[in-house]
Amino acid sequence: ASQLRPEEQALFDVYLRMLGDDAMPGEVGNRIKEGFWAQGALKQVVQQYVRHFEMMDDHYLQERAVDIRDLGRRLLSHLQEGEQKDTVYPENTVLVSEELTPAMLGEVPKGQLVGLVSVKGSSNSHVAILARAMGVPTVMGLVDIPVNQLDGKDLIVDGFEGQIFASPSTDLRNFYQEICDEEDELIKGLEALRDLPCETTDNHRVSLLVNTGLMTDVVRSLSHGAEGIGLYRTEVPFMIKDRFPSEQEQREYYREQLEAFAPNPVTMRTLDIGGDKALTYFPIQEENPFLGWRGIRVTLDHPEIFLVQVRAMLKASEGLNNLQIMLPMISNISEVEESLHLIYRVYHEVREEGYNIHMPKVGVMVEIPAAVYQIRELADRVDFLSVGSNDLTQYLLAVDRNNPRVAQLYHSYHPAVLQALVRVAQDAHAVGKPVGICGELAGDPGGALLLMAMGYDSLSMNAASLPKVKSVIRSVSREWSAQLLEDVLLLDSPHVIKSCVDLALRNAGFGRYLRPGKTGAIAHAERALS
């Protein structure tokens, strides 16, 4: 509890509700009264719950089935009253399981959990959300690992590359220890940059913001020198509930974020569900969810959700006035106009209720190719634009980034992606509107240099990437990055572009910022260029 904010702890409320008298235990009791033995009654009830959720084909409902199975095992263990086995956790514990559950994390003594490995699950599971909040390296969905044979073995968990190494050799251990030591030294060295502006050697200024959805990120973000929030994912408070959060609950979540970063801007994206983000209590079943009912399409079809959320945001901003609202998945002008109509309506209603608030800036996310070709029309109606580079890349390349079969085709440095990003920045500035970007590319030091050269006014990333990006930008001129951009726009292979950017970084003295495993690609680029 000391490591998690209330919104993350809310995941455990689900367990408590399931253990209430009117839930699982009540049903088990009824079966016992009907004549079943206790263990058999428990098994029947648990299997009934599990089947009910697994039949729904929804990822998050399946995650709930995992929780129920875990509760069933724990209840059975107490019913059996077998020999109690006290697990002794080593000082550095890597938790490995066929199926990790949130309750398992709580069993490891504080400060001893250093890594998580699970055969099942994904980056969207409850455990993954908690792991990110706690800053624990995690590898999910690692199929075909012999879980039972790893007990007691030394493990290396590489969260960057999604790999584990059992019983590592001395050489491999030393290799990863060097990486850990370098990271520690790098972080210490970058702390001095926290309060310095992010500007190039020829005085070009760029705002560095963070992407967040959890209060646990706030301290880390502020300590790394974030100038505000470029993307607050409002769906996180919705995902950790088993019902839609009330206006008051949402208002409390939003107020915490707005207060923490005041007077700097906090850009809140309206509810973005659908695709790979679903709510257990609002299931959306579609054959092709990424091209289906998601983002602004859902909330405009259900304006009651949108209106409550905007009311909560506006009330939370009273006296701070650092709120910005961002609309996701915009594909045409009418969606913007309808959204603005609802926002203005709520603004006037809230002011009439006596709240002293200012009209927030409203922007749109550019993440659908159609929006790339309507930048000027969109910019005429809103205050700012922000590119969601992850989804834009996915839609431009027709690649589901969560599908391992085609994952190698998803590449942020694809020439088509870079050309689209150049066009967006040029068209936005042509009509005098600021444009930012939030996505993996912004947090990559090489990608950040290219985006700065394109003219992006702000870069939003996860907090851990921010010090490295600031260090790189402060050490180069905009002219140098513009030349690099000009060079790579002539290339036609994403892998060659990436290698050339990495080579440029290395030649500029930033080889230490490249993730492990990149050295081979750079050597290949050097051979190709020579």
Give catalytic residues, as residue numbers: 126, 438
Strand blocks (E) in 190-274? 207-212, 229-233, 266-269
Integer Cα distance of 386 and 402 in angstroms:
23
* Alpha-carbon torsion angle 453, 455, 461, 464, nearest 10: 40
Cβ atoms of 303 and 325 within 8 Å: the answer is: no
Q: Cα–Cα distance between 51 and 45 in angstroms, integer?
A: 10
**What is the four-CA torsion angle of 450, 399, 210, 323, rounded to 10 degrees?**
110
The residues that bridge with 118 in the sheet, in sequence order, are: 97
What is the C-alpha separation between 235 and 255, in angstroms, rounded? 15
Burial-class residue 289 by CB neighbours within 10 Å (0-12, 13-18, 19+). middle
Q: What residue type is 145 in one-letter code? A: I
CA-based angle 65:155:521, to the nearest 5?
Answer: 100
Q: CA-CA distances (angstroms) from residue 157 to 92, 160, 429, 490?
A: 12, 9, 44, 38
Q: What is the dihedral of CA 6, 118, 139, 172, to 10 degrees?
A: 130
Q: 93 Cβ partners below 8 Å, 6+ apart?
A: 108, 112, 113, 114, 115
* 259 CB-near residues (< 8 Å, 6+ apart): 320
Listed in sequence order, the DSSP H helices in 361-406 are 369-372, 375-379, 389-397
Q: Which of 430, 421, 426 is nearest to 497 (CA)?
A: 421
Q: Give the phi and the psi of residue 50 in degrees, each rounded to 5.
A: -60, -45
Which residues, other chains included, contact 219 with Cβ-Cβ below 8 Å and sequence gap of 6+? Answer: none
Of the candidates 120, 23, 24, the one whose C-alpha atom is nearest the C-alpha of residue 76 is 24
Any idea how long the chain is? 530
Helix (H, G, I), strand (E, B) or coil at 269: strand
E strands in 31-81: none
Q: At residue 356, what is the residue type?
A: N
CA distance 457 to 330: 21
